[in-house]
Amino acid sequence: MSLLQIEPTSWLFALSSLGPTVVLVLSALAVLAIDSLSPDARSNTRLAATAAAGTLIALGITVWYLLAGTGQPATGGAISLFSGAIVVDGMGLFFTAIFTSVAALVVVASYDYLEDDANPAAFYSLLLFATTAMSLMAVANSLATVFISLEMASLPSYALVAYLKTNRGSVEAGLKYFLIGAVSAAVFAFGISLVYAATGSLLLPDIATAIGDVTDLAGILGVGILMVAGGFLFKTASVPFHFWAPEAYEGAPAPVSAFLSSASKAAGFAVAFRVFAEAFMPALDVAVDWGLLFGILAVVTMVLGNFAAATQTNVKRMLAYSSIGHAGYALIGLAAVTAGAGANNATVMGAAMAHLLVYGFMNTGAFLFIAMIERWGVGRTFEDYAGIGRKAPMASMAMAVFMFSLAGLPLFGGFFSKYFLFLGAINAGFWWLAAVGAVTSALSLYYYSRVVKALWLEEPTGNLDALDSKPTGLYAAVIVAGVITVLLLPGFGPVIETAEAAAAAVFA
């Protein structure tokens, strides 16, 4: 039975529409059930297989829905559930595909990372619950749903960052992340209350309609929008709410850093695109020019992230600052949608969505390579990576692909994603954003190439005998991420078309 053959008012229709989310939460509960029913028979293999199966099934359902046009105009438009609080459409499914892809890679890689862990069920369940919440963020159509799903994703993330309970760096990073997250959540909630006070609604379409009638409360609405923007900037690790990211990514287990810097960042942009494109677009002429705000923040985020990354000696911390720079690139898509209407908006926002998809694979793969290095105990600096390419050629080749793709060099998926993003910004009149993006991308080649140079051209500075052991899960995840990053170059056409079609439906 197809989705569209089920009665739209039935609970079965709601469950089938939210199929990926339902599968993810059931998988998380299954992991906990397996661990509870046999607490003395610890089985990392069984738990990892359950978690991996759940994420892959959710990914398969998401891709199936995308190919079938679920929630698209050709099949009847977006599917509204729970009095409009949730809407299933192409954009939500596109982002859910990013979350589940990253989660699947992280679960597979974590199999080796958790080999000696006493309670791997906690890790897998937290990861799955966070992914579940992110899938809800992607389809949230109410500020209340946005806030609840965002906090549902944040709480497991705090625990994951501090997962290494005997590691001072991990616990300290988790505490800092939690404290800053609590403050940002309070600011976000207060901003939502101000928007509600000015418009009388929490549903995004109703907010957009009510903004046109706002006169005396325009100042309150403007402050509310700025505070809501602050919540999104924290979630995406954008300036000026970026300072938690380097500490959290460096202290957290490397698979968690991969998950947060890729999936969590994409989740923040998923709700930001929907909230500002659907609800706050009329506020540009009434309350606050948030397009200019995001444009300025995009420039500062790109510049700060890339220049800070260029000064690092720790590879993991370099990637942390690099992820801040890439948040600036995605902010271009949010700023440029204010320049016009129709096709231009869909083009630039679709390009930003496609970039986040490519970024999900190349950035996740890079952090998982670092997880492999951590397992080998080689070291953390660029010098410690010297000569690894001779002992682990396949994984090092994949790392080279990630580095060059993150820099945006041709022959890799990151080239086309940045090209279409910058081109969309130019067509929307934001040529200065594209110019800053191109310059900072050129700068990023310096510090990304340092990793490749160390891996392949420099002589080893220490004993690399530990590299003789090949962690199966980590190796598989890194190689798969590398292959997909390469294949995304010739296969970028369907990706950008799907992203633009999903974005166009939002502006229809």
| pLDDT tens for each residue of 341-350 | 556 788 889 9
Query: What pTM was computed for the model?
Result: 0.93
* pLDDT for res 245: 86
- Cα Rg, the chain, nearest whole Å: 22
Q: Residue 465 falls within a domain, yes or no? A: yes
* pLDDT for res 343: 60
* pLDDT for res 1: 38
Q: Is 92 a residue whose pLDDT tops 70? A: yes
Cite the DSSP H helix spans in 377-491. Answer: 388-391, 393-407, 413-427, 431-456, 472-487
Question: Once rounded to an integer, what is the mean pLDDT over residues 169-189?
Answer: 90
Q: Is 342 helix (H, G, I), strand (E, B) or coil?
A: coil
* pLDDT for res 116: 79
Q: Residue 309 falls within a domain, yes or no? A: yes
Query: Which of 64-73, 140-149, 235-244, 275-284: highest mean pLDDT?
Result: 140-149
- Phi and psi at 212, nearest 5°, equal -65, -25
Q: Is 242 helix (H, G, I), strand (E, B) or coil?
A: coil
Min mean pLDDT across 194-203, 277-286, 420-429 is at: 277-286
Query: Which of 124-128, 239-243, 261-265: highest mean pLDDT?
Result: 124-128
- Cβ-based burial of 37 (10 A; exposed 0-12, middle 13-18, buried ≥19): exposed
* pLDDT for res 169: 84
- Mean predicted lDDT score pLDDT of the chain: 88
Q: How far is CA 291 from CA 284, 323, 356, 456, 495, in A?
A: 8, 22, 20, 43, 26
CB 79, CB 155: distance < 8 Å:
no
CB 430, CB 336: distance < 8 Å:
yes
Query: Which of 8-17, 76-85, 209-218, 219-228: highest mean pLDDT?
Result: 219-228
CB 362, CB 402: distance < 8 Å:
yes
Question: Once rounded to an integer, what is the mean pLDDT over residues 383-389?
Answer: 87
Min mean pLDDT across 215-219, 302-306, 495-499 is at: 215-219
| pLDDT tens for each residue of 357-375 | 999 999 999 999 999 888 8
Q: Is 7 a residue whose pLDDT tops 70? A: no
Q: Residue 488 falls within a domain, yes or no? A: yes
Confidence band, pLDDT 50/70/90 cuts, at residue 10: low
Q: Residue 346 falls within a domain, yes or no? A: yes
Tokens of 403: 């580095």
| pLDDT tens for each residue of 120-143 | 899 999 999 999 999 999 999 999
**What is the separation, in whole angstroms, between the first and last Cα of the chain?**
29
Place of tokens 């590398």: 482
* pLDDT for res 40: 67
Q: How far apart are CA 361 and CA 34, in angstroms?
A: 30
Confidence band, pLDDT 50/70/90 cuts, at residue 339: low
Q: Is 243 a residue whose pLDDT tops 90? A: no
Min mean pLDDT across 189-203, 206-220, 315-329 is at: 206-220
DSSP 381: B
Q: Which among 412, 437, 411 has a CA at the least distance from the CA of 325?
A: 437
Number of domains in the chain: 1
Question: Once rounded to an integer, what is the mean pLDDT over residues 395-421?
Answer: 90
Share of the chain above pLDDT 70, in %: 95
CB 476, CB 394: distance < 8 Å:
no
Residue bearing the bigger pLDDT, 101 or 388? 101
| pLDDT tens for each residue of 27-74 | 999 999 998 887 766 678 899 999 999 999 999 999 999 998 888 888
Q: Residue 424 falls within a domain, yes or no? A: yes
Q: Residue 312 falls within a domain, yes or no? A: yes
Q: Residue 217 falls within a domain, yes or no? A: no
What residues make up the domain containing 453? 300-508
| pLDDT tens for each residue of 299-329 | 999 999 999 999 999 999 999 999 999 999 9
* pLDDT for res 49: 93
Q: Is 194 a residue whose pLDDT tops 90? A: yes
Q: Residue 416 falls within a domain, yes or no? A: yes
